[in-house]
Chain A
Amino acid sequence: QLQLQASGPGLVKPSETLSLTCTVTGDSITSTSYYWGWIRQPPGKGLEWIASIHYSEGTFYNPSLKSRVTISVDTSKNQFSLRLTSVTAADTAVYYCATPGGVLVPFWGPGTLVTVSS
């Protein structure tokens, strides 16, 4: 059974970098069956796809965030990560790691709330 668990600071200061990690259990991060990705949801609002990575196909970014976002994989830890630079209050959201892509059923881990505030 695939499990995803996001982790990272719950509070980030404006202009700093938000870094989150998603630990994958139940399958290998190198599996080509999955697109690993990040999705966020500001409080009281809808869902926004941020980025995805596929072990052989590479990275995919939301153009609205592309200049500030990096998604990467750490095969030694079976994790994938998100970096979002120059954050503002608009980046306050629940961040979900998920498998949004491919033909398998999408899977989401529990979200983690990140607040941008001084």
Chain B
Amino acid sequence: GAVVSQHPSWVICKSGTSVKIECRSLDFQATTMFWYRQFPKQSLMLMATSNEGSKATYEQGVEKDKFLINHASLTLSTLTVTSAHPEDSSFYICSARGLADSYNEQFFGPGTRLTVL
């Protein structure tokens, strides 16, 4: 299957700082990327959908000015958590979907653990 990577795998930051998480599709072109958030013992919650070259579509209740998403190329999307606070501590997971029939499925990255002190 297709490979999606995330960087960093974990990050610890101070309250008030911004953190950028990268999501890359390694062996296919991802026209659509998705960002999810997962709190302990809970399911994945979809935050936003981004299509290459256009603005992201955010799910209801997700602050677009706080979670900045950029999908500038077919292999890279970034999520920036601006002015992070302890309540933003979570497991952030991206997934990618390509154009070709075999990659119409969503493939997930390994996740990024964010801890805000």
* Same complex: no
